Structure 1
Amino acid sequence: MTISRPETSRPIIAGVVTALVGFTSSFAVVLAGLRAVGASDAQAASGLLALTLTFGLGILLLSWRTKLPITLAWSTPGAALLVSTGAVEGGWPAAVGAFVIVGVLIVLTGLIPALGQLIGKIPVSLAQAMLAGVLLSLCLAPFKALGTTPLLVLPIIIAWLIMMRFAARWAVPVALALALAVIGIYLVLSGTTLSAAHLVPTLVWTTPGFSWQAIAGISLPLFIVTMASQNVPGVAVLKSFGFSTPWRSSMVVTGMGTALGAPFGGHAINLAALSAALAAGEEAGSEPRRRWVAAFTSGWVYLLLAALSAALVTLVAAAPAGLVEAVAGLALLSTMASAISAALAEAKERIGAIVTFLIAASGLSFAGIGAAFWALLGGLVVRWALSERRAASRQ
């Protein structure tokens, strides 16, 4: 069968779109998360660079070897979790150590089936409720910013809404582009100049530190959120297009990538979920056997985008307060809506889910451990208590 020239180019175009949408839609969330747990601007830029390099290379490896449209991404919900967690005992080195642990856990999940089965036993309602709780503060940011800098934020929200109406996948990238334009105008009017040295991407090493508070408060919740909100949906997205994900190799590659990128500031990489459909669907061509080219192309584009990491962090650092957080909040609205819907889907699970959500949203910190851990624990306790009551009432 002869493949037409337009058909040949479709996977390549789809790959470019996949990378552009995946990168621009959520890098602001990643920067907010890394800075929240103690990263300096240079360390956050290094983290963004490390993440983009590791999952870009991971995409090239997996898509080439399997000839499947497997795409990877950073853990956007995981970055939002870091925002809600904040600084931990031991500071940034302890957070880096927690990222290393996440990588090890992901590798073990691929190698030890029992660990994957254990993760599967965590109630979906509680995992999604925890995610919704940690997303709340960022999702409120656009509307809080309306009260402080309405002239800057309102045009961004309007642009986002218009794009949601006509081209939803480009809503956040357009909002981000407008925000960057606003930042550029702000810098010109304020007379601020940017040093060329700050625009060169550089990997910054941080020796990992380890503390039980960081492991409990960052590693475990980040691992659960990454698995439940990224890896499992990523498998489902590929399956919906007729592709079977090689679970073990995917977990080993993403886990090793996470562990290797952690000392340079990367928090977690995983199977792509939302952007995966761009490379695996019909937009990547009518011939499913050639759609791996879209994923392979996206890997190369991600490596090119990595060169922008330092410049983006420099612009974000110079932005008016709340502006970038507003864009990050807009990027997470659909994720939060899906999480709330999944958390409250079953009537018998709703009380445990709402307790989990409220504890996660409260920002509770006890014994040096952040709210996400206590939210999941509290939700499990409530769920167990109510299931015991229902069991007793049936006797």
Structure 2
Amino acid sequence: MNMLRSLSLSHVTAGFVAVLVGFTSSVVIILQAAESAGATPEQVSSWIWALGLGMGITSAGLSFYYREPVLTAWSTPGAALLVTSLAGVSLPEATGAFVFSAVLIVIAGYTGWFERMLHHIPQSLAAAMLAGILFEFGLNAFVSLQGNLLLVGIMLMTYLLCRRLLPRYAILMVLVVGVALAAIQGQLHWGGVALKLAEPVWVTPAFSWPVLISVGLPLFIVTMTSQNVPGLAVMRANGYRTPLSPVLTATGLTTLILAPFGGFAFNLAAITAAICMGDEAGENRRTRYLAAVCAGGVYILVGLFGATVVALFAAFPKAFVVALAGLALLGTIGNSLHAALAEPDEREAALITFLVTVSGLSLFGIGSAFWGIVIGVAARLLLQAFREGSRTRT
């Protein structure tokens, strides 16, 4: 009852926007990954069922348990990896690789070694990495003006006016105005939408050492470095101290259970989590976990209706989704940059972290968010050594 009394329209809106942004931005990669493994249309629908159900249960369950916004997601870099690495691999062998990766995640969570390692990341660098991750989304919101000036321009004006007059409902008003204008312009395409429940399809895992090493191990590494590291940074940058190890264990176990149905990898969300943690997700930060609970509920609906929801989200014009994501994240980007650059002694290392993350650098199949932290920490240690050396000489 207390939860229902605390629930507000801001929580529901933030949860829906988080799912909308997360789903539309990467569902095509998921479909490509399933097809690369030779999945049938029924199995592709099962993948959406498993992923939606897994994200929904973990997001709502963990957020409700910890009373902090813990939003999970599928591993988008992991899906991109699968697109290129599953050629010639059977679906049972691919499923075996998903199970292997899940076991490694459970071990990392249960032993706590991954969380202990991440405790050494300074707050300023975590904030800089978060700003770098989200920077492209903010930038693309304004780039989209070029292709759809009227729609995006009115959405931007709505955001600015509501930030002044109705700050708690700014994103909700942007969502409503954007959908209405897109409908008037005929940019909403409902032709492919048909109500249909998804049906789970079991695939018995097959374990092949070459596939486990070439697919399962890289999937584990990419999920941990390119998803869970940024996901933790988002939480810490927003002041939430949810213990990481139990969350990792929960996502690993969820993957273990749902892998035979297509749930290839679950992890902490970063970009969409930021939407559920910012000011737009509720005035009271102690109740913002309800935004993640709402997102979990939407994800469960996504899973249950599988292909129907794929078509539904595909109905929105790309410019609308890009602009909505960028405007929803503006506050988080600004706060993260402020936290990253606030301390003069750490400003240069934080700036390096930010720039490396923005650069899109990819080495050994690992994305720029991880390398931003690695290079930023190395720069910070080096600069600290120089400063201490200078003090010693003086």
Partner of 2:57: 57
CA contact (8 A) 2:162 2:170 kept: yes
Compute the displacement of 1:150 (Å).
0.5
Rounded Cα–Cα distance in structure 1 between residues aligned with 2:224 and 2:275: 23
Partner of 1:365: 362
Q: 1:156 to 1:297 in 2, by over 3 A?
A: closer
SS at match of 1:224: helix
Q: Does 1:30 align with 2:22?
A: yes
Deviation per CA, 1:69-112, whole angstroms, max 9, x where unpaired?
Answer: 45542359x87xx5xx9944753869999998886676456533
Q: Does 1:162 align with 2:161?
A: yes
Q: 1:367 to 1:253 in 2, by over 3 A?
A: closer
Deviation per CA, 1:302-361, whole angstroms, max 9, x where unpaired?
Answer: 645765775554244344443311111112222222221222122111111111211221
Q: How does 1:319-358 map to 2 (within 5 A)?
A: 319-358=316-355
Q: Does 1:124 align with 2:123?
A: yes
Read off the aligned partner of 1:228 and give its amino acid letter: A
CA contact (8 A) 1:73 1:270 kept: yes
Q: 1:354 to 1:322 in 2, by over 3 A?
A: same
Q: How does 1:233-272 map to 2 (within 5 A)?
A: 233=238, 235-236=240-241, 249-257=246-254, 260=257, 263-264=262-263, 267-269=266-268
Number of corresponding residues: 364
Partner of 1:288: none
Deviation per CA, 1:12-36, whole angstroms, max 9, x where unpaired?
Answer: 1434647523422322331254247
Partner of 1:389: 386
Partner of 1:4: none
CA contact (8 A) 2:58 2:72 kept: no
Rounded Cα–Cα distance in structure 1 between residues aligned with 2:83 and 2:292: 38
Q: 1:176 to 1:20 in 2, by over 3 A?
A: same
Q: Does 1:73 align with 2:71?
A: yes
Unpaired stretches in structure 2, ≥5 consecutive residues: 36-43, 88-93, 206-211
SS at match of 1:157: helix
Q: 1:253 to 1:336 in 2, by over 3 A?
A: same
CA contact (8 A) 2:63 2:71 kept: no
CA contact (8 A) 1:138 1:325 kept: yes
Q: 1:161 to 1:389 in 2, by over 3 A?
A: same
Rounded Cα–Cα distance in structure 2 between residues aligned with 1:123 and 1:282: 23
Unpaired stretches in structure 1, ≥5 consecutive residues: 1-7, 237-244, 285-290
Rounded Cα–Cα distance in structure 2 between residues aligned with 1:27 and 1:264: 17
SS at match of 2:145: helix
Q: Does 1:314 align with 2:311?
A: yes
CA contact (8 A) 1:343 1:350 kept: yes
Compute the displacement of 1:139 (Å).
0.9
Rounded Cα–Cα distance in structure 2 between residues aligned with 1:222 and 1:204: 27
Moved more, 177-186 or 300-309: 300-309
Q: 1:178 to 1:97 in 2, by over 3 A?
A: farther
Read off the aligned partner of 2:19 and give its amino acid letter: F
SS at match of 1:268: strand
Compute the displacement of 1:195 (Å).
2.8
Read off the aligned partner of 2:235 and give its amino acid letter: Q
SS at match of 2:146: helix
Compute the displacement of 1:144 (Å).
0.8
Identity value in percent: 30
CA contact (8 A) 1:51 1:269 kept: no
Aligned-residue RMSD, C-alpha: 4.8
Moved more, 46-55 or 358-367: 46-55
Q: How does 1:120-199 map to 2 (within 5 A)?
A: 120-187=119-186, 194-197=191-194
CA contact (8 A) 2:193 2:311 kept: no
Read off the aligned partner of 2:171 and give its amino acid letter: V
Q: Does 1:219 align with 2:224?
A: yes
Read off the aligned partner of 1:220 and give its amino acid letter: T
SS at match of 1:264: coil
SS at match of 2:144: helix
Moved more, 307-316 or 376-385: 307-316
Moved more, 130-139 or 86-95: 86-95
